[in-house]
Amino acid sequence: MKSVNNEYDSLVMKAPIFNQVVYDGIVSVSGDIWKNQRKFILVTLRHFGLGRSKLEDKIQTEVKLFLSEIDNFNQTPFKMMTPIQTGAGNVISHLVFGGHFNHDDPSFKILMDGFDSLINYVSAGSLVTFIPILRFFPGDLFGIKKIARKMQVIKDFISELIEEHMSKFEEGNVNDFIDAFISEMNKQDVGENTIFTKEYLASIIMDLFIAGTETTSTTVTWASFYLATRPDIQSRIFEEVKANVGTERLPSMQDKQNLVYTEAFIMEVLRLCTIAFISASHAPVSDIWIRGFHIPKGMQIVPDIHSVLSDPAVWGDPENFRPERFVSKEGNLLKPDEFIPFFTGRRNCLGESLARMELFLFISALVQRFEIMPPEGETLDIKDVDGIFGVTHAPKPFYIRAISRQAKEMTYNV
Ligand code: HEM
């Protein structure tokens, strides 16, 4: 019997939905092209701060703008998705093109609208991913053409960014991911298997925005739901932040080791809400056997992350929202092997360290600064918000209020 390990996670099949829109970013390619893309992206993003404190300053800039944007709602009901989408999108912008957008920038709104459409329409599209023949149905019954049009808008926007960078590019003055890619494009011979083409660059950037914006925004939106509906948990987080950070400055990554309950809360959101419900479809590179089942080479496999994160044998009461499950009796953070919201293996989430940094900095600052509540006179219930399965498992739109805490005088120099 062959071991499942290496064979299983080394190849991802292209999903038909992506083929429809000529989309060759890291998420949907396989083999050498995938290996080369992943290596280049990781090395380059690390160079520009991924997983290191260098990036923390940029994220803190976005946290301040995010808090200020929420302040502007002046305690009236708002949807969390709007300010956090801009915040998370801007963190990727810093990495990719070394700049960021204002929260009311019309160009950025076009991008966000494209992402929203993906969330809304991909649920229908994923059926086509698993039953490819459905895409030949006449008309646009499964919304595929609509997604393709929206993807094209995003792609055009990104192409403009690339052209702008190319026109200003100076070797030796490499400031962001696009510059680094152009520099490599200039050095490499354009062989058949090269990833250094403008088309691949556009697809990779699109993937970084899509994979890095929706996931993080959806997690923070779910977190705001649990903050609003569980005041007991919210108070405990606030007390922890107040005791360890105070209210005079933003929480930093150095504080993370002391904010165990806050981190446990974030882990519980990632577990119960299972943002990426199922992983991208994988396929074994050779025939394998798992528990007596034969899986032929190339067969599409859809890993069910939710089944692991909600297994009663592992979690006991998986249906309950209970951050304490991640805290030991001694008060330390527990990290069970089955906690895999970013999946596992060689094809796991490339942005995990970035995502975990963002979630910690945005959520701890949000609770430090505001009390999150349902709109006045209303209650929020999981039955009303659960249920959109698209690129991510997102809640149905809901409103919350953010009431400044007593330390309203905190300005953070926004
Ligand atoms: C809460 C936030 C996030 C969650 C829950 C999440 C989850 C996942 C999951 C489950 C996968 C699929 C792994 C597989 O198919 O084996 C994935 C892939 C990926 N993620 Fe994330 N992700 C998050 C944030 C991010 C961020 C911020 C980035 C930005 C760089 C990112 C970039 C990627 C990329 C590029 C891939 C494809 C990796 C590959 O195919 O080699 N993700 N993510």
Q: What is the pLDDT of residue 129?
A: 60
CA distances from 307 to 34, 227, 282 (A): 27, 25, 17
- Residue ranges at the known binding site for heme: 349
- Domain membership of residue 409 (yes or no) is no
Which two tokens mark 394?
Answer: 């997102």
- Domain membership of residue 412 (yes or no) is no
Average pLDDT, the chain: 85
Asked if residue 279 has its Cβ within 6 Å of ligand 1, the reply is yes
Q: What is the pLDDT of residue 409?
A: 47
- Domain membership of residue 15 (yes or no) is yes
- Domain membership of residue 267 (yes or no) is yes
- Rounded Cα distance, 81 and 141, in Å: 28
Ligand 1 centroid to 342 CA: how many Å? 6
Q: What is the pLDDT of residue 17?
A: 42
- Domain membership of residue 240 (yes or no) is yes
Q: What share of the chain is helix, strand, coil (3-state, %, to 5)?
A: 55, 5, 40
- Domain membership of residue 201 (yes or no) is yes
- Rounded Cα distance, 197 and 349, in Å: 24
Q: What is the pLDDT of residues 277-318, one digit of tens each?
A: 766 678 888 899 988 999 998 888 888 899 999 999 999 999
Asked if residue 204 has its Cβ within 6 Å of ligand 1, the reply is no
Q: What residue's CA is closest to ligand 1, atom 27?
A: 212
- Rounded Cα distance, 169 and 356, in Å: 32
Ligand 1 centroid to 169 CA: how many Å? 29
- Domain membership of residue 330 (yes or no) is yes
Asked if residue 295 has its Cβ within 6 Å of ligand 1, the reply is no
Atom number of ligand 1 nearest to Cα 41: 35
- Rounded Cα distance, 209 and 150, in Å: 14
Ligand 1 centroid to 249 CA: how many Å? 30
pLDDT level of residue 6 (50, 70, 90 thresholds):
very low
Most ligand 1 atoms within 8 A of CB, residue of 274, 300, 305, 349 to mutate? 349
| Run of H or E residues at 402 | strand 401-404
Domain of 335? 5-404
Q: How far is CA 216 from the centre of its chain?
A: 4
Ligand 1 centroid to 216 CA: how many Å? 10
The burial class, CB within 10 Å (0-12 / 13-18 / 19+), for 319 is: exposed
Q: What residue's CA is closest to ligand 1, atom 41?
A: 347
Q: What residue's CA is closest to ligand 1, atom 31?
A: 351
Ligand 1 centroid to 243 CA: how many Å? 33
Q: What is the pLDDT of residues 66-75, one digit of tens each?
A: 999 999 999 9
Per the CB < 8 A criterion, the answer to whether 361 and 253 are in contact is yes
Q: Which amino acid is at 397?
A: P
Asked if residue 274 has its Cβ within 6 Å of ligand 1, the reply is no
Question: What torsion do the CA atoms of 207, 60, 80, 158 make, to the nearest 10 degrees?
Answer: -30
What is the domain count for the chain? 1
Please indicate whether residue 209 or residue 404 has the higher confidence score (pLDDT): 404
- Rounded Cα distance, 294 and 7, in Å: 13
Asked if residue 27 has its Cβ within 6 Å of ligand 1, the reply is yes
pLDDT over 90 for what percent of the chain? Answer: 53
- Domain membership of residue 311 (yes or no) is yes
Ligand 1 centroid to 351 CA: how many Å? 6
- Long-range contact pairs involving 297-300 (C-beta distance under 8 Å, separation at least 24): 298/13, 300/13, 300/130
Ligand 1 centroid to 413 CA: how many Å? 33
Q: What is the pLDDT of residues 321-352, one digit of tens each?
A: 999 999 999 999 999 999 999 998 888 999 99
- Rounded Cα distance, 222 and 81, in Å: 9
CB atoms within 10 A of CB 72: 11
- Rounded Cα distance, 295 and 150, in Å: 36
Atom number of ligand 1 nearest to Cα 359: 1
Q: What is the pLDDT of residues 256-279, one digit of tens each?
A: 999 999 999 999 999 999 888 766
Asked if residue 360 has its Cβ within 6 Å of ligand 1, the reply is no
Question: Residue 34 is part of a domain; what is its CATH number?
Answer: 1.10.630.10
Asked if residue 212 has its Cβ within 6 Å of ligand 1, the reply is yes
Output the DSSP codes for 294-312.
EE-TT--B--BHHHHHT-H
